[in-house]
Structure 1
Amino acid sequence: MAWLSLLLALGALWVAFTASSPGILFLALLVALVLFAVFVLKLASDRIGNRARSEQLMLDPEELRRLREQAEARKLAAAAQQNDAIR
């Protein structure tokens, strides 16, 4: 869609360059400006959307707490194992 608006903006510029009436010239330049702005905003939106993280990959606070507890238990078990190995 973004590239289509760019092509339409170029077409509107071509109409503006070949226009013989000032009204058509102004209208074509206005249309070209709007279509170019749509192109830029759509392109920026696509780039931002591609870099955004998926909401499905985000953890809720309860899941995060559970994972922290598991990591702490593993750390304590490893420390206890190391102390047993030293004795």
Structure 2
Amino acid sequence: MPWVYLLLAFAAFGLALKTTSPALMAVGLLAALGLLIAGVMGLLARRLDNHSRDVSSMIDPAELRRLREQAEARKLAAASQSEPPQR
């Protein structure tokens, strides 16, 4: 969709260059500017969306706390053993 905005901006700019009416030229230049900004913002939004992480893979605070408790329990269990763990 952003490419359509850019093509329409190019057409509006061409209209502004070809017309003899100052009012139509102003409308064409404003339309070209608006469509150009919309197209570039659409391209940037698409790029950011492609490079963003999946939100569902993030760990919530409760899960993070549970993992920390498990790690601390393992650490205490390893420290309480008098002999080193066997491989």
- With the length of structure 1 as denominator, give the TM-score of the two structures: 0.81
Q: Is 2:42 the partner of 1:42?
A: yes
Question: How many Å separate the matches in 1 of 2:3 and 2:11?
Answer: 12
For 1:68, the equivalent position in structure 2 comes to 68
CA displacement at 1:79 relative to structure 2: 4.0
Distance in 2 separating the partners of 1:85 and 1:65: 27
Q: Distance in 1 between matches of 2:50 and 2:80?
A: 45
Shift of 1:17: 1.1
Q: CA RMSD in A?
A: 2.0
In structure 1, the residue matched to 2:26 is 26
Structure 1: unaligned runs, 5 residues or longer = none
Stretches of structure 2 that go unaligned for 5 or more consecutive residues are none
| TM-score (normalised: structure 2) | 0.81
* Matched positions, count: 85
Which residues of 2 match residues 48-59 of structure 1 at below 5 A?
A: 48-59=48-59
Residue type at the aligned position of 2:25: L
Q: Distance in 2 between matches of 1:61 and 1:71?
A: 15
What is residue 84 of structure 1 aligned with on the other side? 83
Higher helix share: 1
**One-letter amino acid of the structure 1 residue matched with residue 24 of structure 2:** I
How big is the shift at 1:47? 2.1
